[in-house]
Structure 1
């Protein structure tokens, strides 16, 4: 199953003829129907619609269509219906002009000072020509919406594949850092043990016969053991590796994985923080910092996954 990004864009247009059953070509079409879909990341599915007035009644059906295919993201659908002719403005029907003249006369009976209708007013009322057939417009709108939605989902899938590739690259880098960190702890313990022994040897020399050599060595070994327990990060590295394995499994399974991945990223960050707090060597601190950088990069990518 694919992994989908919450970021995507798609658009489409379709020619419509007003009233006629046989729609003419694009150049001779009376109207142009356009639809755009765009989205960014969001915690939930947040749908927004920007529809022209003659398409606003179709919002509930369009909302239901999007809900069937999309799960997360802030999605905006924009649809419009524009009149268009060859190179001239379409002539308003004579019957409409007669009706407008009659209405204007009636208005002036009661409001003598009312301004007369302008050419722009008439064209705006006329809508550029014959009225559109609502049923045919609805059929064309939903056919176009389904086509654009298919392109939109495909675009989100392609972006999702890119995000998966970026995340897997960082998972591989984290595994290398974890492998590099594993041998550093025994080395740090051994170095600290030698420092403890050196200190107790100095104390033994300064204290003279009052301090038994066996006691000094036992105390040094005990201190070294306590130090080893305090800085041991084997458990953190084990959990970190387990989280990386789970991320690989989730990406391979696909589907709605964004929230699951976000939780795993939080767990990775916790282990990297603990690794840094237990660090007893400069190199281990650097590894912890590098891990945090990679994990933060992964977080940015995961926040865009559905």
Structure 2
């Protein structure tokens, strides 16, 4: 069986050059009930936040996704100069205080560290119009890498899910073929219970017939067997389907569990109950893996 299931867990990164700036894009995703996008953008990129979210939402349907974009600027650091006016003001204040306060004069590094004495020339802002196609291409490359990462992980999970569904099917076959389900065994048990009811005082034939019908219904697990096999067929069909099927698989896992609970409650033999409990354990393992599927 070829599966194109995607996990919600993945990682990818890409880089691109824009003049003297080097862009770095990083994408991480983990399990999530829906699509939750969180972005951490470098200064100056805030205008791209909404377009980037739209781009991600077009490619992914579920998962908690973290987008981080950073850049390094080479040779564009701002020039440092002395604010002469501020420096003269500070020196005049030092001279004025020197005659009034007996203290050591401040050092040069202390003076230069005062706010406003050193001025840093702001580097030229980013050319957003020219940056946009470069940035978007880098993000698309990272998204493609993330999708591949999620598909690779999904293929590994699909193998596990197929094995788990096969294990569930084998347990259902065991329950169906168990001797406790034979007509003779059920009839003998029903006869014993009916005899127990007959020993009660003042029980009417109508009441006896009703109780016998209830006991017979409780002993029959054919409906649960049939439903479990229908769910198995549905799960196998979904596992062979491309696209986001995680929610439907999770719903099927819940239905599996419901039928297994009913089977255990109807069981008329310890061995059959044990099979039901093994079935519940296998279903829990299935559902745990399904939580990873997109």
TM-score range, shorter chain: 0.7 to 0.9
Number of residue pairs matched?
Answer: 260
CA distance in 2 between partners of 1:108 and 1:32 (Å): 41
- Counterparts of 1:118 and 1:261, CA distance in 2: 65
Which residue of structure 2 lines up, in the alignment, with residue 36 of structure 1? 26
Question: Match of 2:219?
Answer: 231
Q: How does 1:178-257 map to 2 (within 5 A)?
A: 178-184=172-178, 186=180, 190-191=184-185, 193-194=187-188, 227-257=215-245
Residue 136 of structure 1 corresponds to 130
Q: Secondary structure of 1:283's match?
A: helix
Q: In 2, Cα distance between the equivalents of 1:270 and 1:65? A: 40
> What residue is the counterpart of 1:204 in the other structure?
none
Of residues 237, 240, 247 in structure 2, which corresponds to 1:259?
247
Question: Is 1:278–2:256 an aligned residue pair?
Answer: no
Shift in Å, 1:9: 0.8
Per the alignment, residue 4 of structure 2 pairs with 2
What's the TM-score once normalised by structure 2's chain length? 0.76
Question: Shift in Å at residue 133 of structure 1?
Answer: 3.0
Matches within 5 A, 1:63-212: 63-84=53-74, 92=78, 97=80, 101=83, 105=86, 115-117=114-116, 122=120, 126-127=122-123, 131-184=125-178, 186=180, 190-191=184-185, 193-194=187-188
Consecutive unaligned residues in structure 1, runs of 5 or more: 19-30, 202-221
Write the distance in 2 (CA, Å) between the matches of 1:298 and 1:291: 11
Offset at residue 6 of structure 1 (A): 1.1
TM-score, with length taken from structure 1: 0.73
Q: How large is the Cα RMSD of the aligned pairs? A: 3.4
User: Alignment partner of 1:54: what SS?
Assistant: coil
Structure 1 residue 137, shift from structure 2 partner = 2.5
Who is 1:294 aligned against? 282
2:265, 2:188 → 1: CA distance? 23
1:71 counterpart SS class: coil
Q: 1:239 & 1:198 partners in 2: Cα distance?
A: 29
Residue 68 of structure 1: CA displacement?
Answer: 0.9
